[in-house]
Amino acid sequence: MKIGILGTGTISSAVVEGMVADGHQITVSERNAARAADLSARFENVTVADNQGVLDASQVVFLGLMAAAAPGILADLTFRPDQKVISLMAQAELGEVGDMVAPAKAEAVMIPFPAIATGGSAILVLGDTATVQALFGDRNRIFPLSSQEELDAYQCAQAVLSPAVKLVGGAASWLGARTSDAAQGESFLRHLVASGLMGAECAPLLEALNTPGGYNQQLRQHMERAGMADDLAIGLDLLEKRSE
């Protein structure tokens, strides 16, 4: 497949890395010249072109632009009716993308995460999932969404990742100060949390960790008394209001 990437930021680069091994011909834009050059140097099936050159070389186009800048950038470009466009811009609704890329088809809004580079990532998709599934479905989990409102809610809820990482990192620092191998301690905690969450749904996992008087129960109850659950709900509500 001939694939184009407009915009070569961190997430767009991860998207390239997540599909480059499948032999696609990938053309990336030179908006971030250093990152585009790095991708081209590392992968023989990645080439660099200006924005119109990316479109001219591609059947499927990923838009990895800033939503506010996209209208001005795309207005000067010519899309083809046979092209499929997948937007990585969470702040631009699918209908808006369609207007910007006509006569091409705006197939979906796709929200990837950095782990897409190596596989095993969650991917949010609003719209037609067929192309995203074909390109990434074998190595990642696709979560199809039904509306822009649902996408907005998922965008707010996914922000739990950063505080979760902060929580694990804090526990790792505490552990590292008390053990002989700090790196091993962090590795243990990352593996523990990741495997636990992947192995069971939250409710039964929490029940399994709820041994009366056990370490897990004691720490959770302490944090709940300190307002952890209430603060989480307040923070998510604030994100929801700001996204409206």
Q: What's the pLDDT tens digit per position in 167-181?
A: 999 999 999 999 999
Q: Which CATH class is domain 2-145?
A: alpha beta
The pLDDT assigned to 34 comes to 87
Which tokens hold the place of 106?
């705006």
The CA-based dihedral angle spanning residues 134, 158, 63, 106, taken in that order and rounded to the nearest 10 degrees:
60
Domain segments of the chain as ranges: 2-145, 159-243
The pLDDT assigned to 231 comes to 95
The pLDDT assigned to 190 comes to 97
The pLDDT assigned to 225 comes to 96
All residue ranges of the chain with pLDDT < 70 are: none
Place of tokens 């995460």: 113
229: left (phi over 0), alpha (psi -120 to 50) or beta: alpha
The pLDDT assigned to 1 comes to 94
Question: Distance between CA 243 and CA 153 in Å, rounded?
Answer: 9
Return the closest-CA partner of residue 67 out of 85, 102, 91: 91
Which tokens hold the place of 188?
């243990």
Question: Distance between CA 103 and CA 61 in Å, rounded?
Answer: 13
The pLDDT assigned to 50 comes to 94
Question: Distance between CA 32 and CA 47 in Å, rounded?
Answer: 13
Burial of residue 41 (number of CB atoms within 10 Å: 0-12, 13-18, 19+): exposed
The pLDDT assigned to 85 comes to 98
Q: What DSSP string runs through 32-66?
A: SHHHHHHHHHH-TTEEEE-HHHHHHT-SEEEE-S-
The pLDDT assigned to 114 comes to 92
Distances (CA, A) of 126 to 21, 109, 139: 25, 5, 19
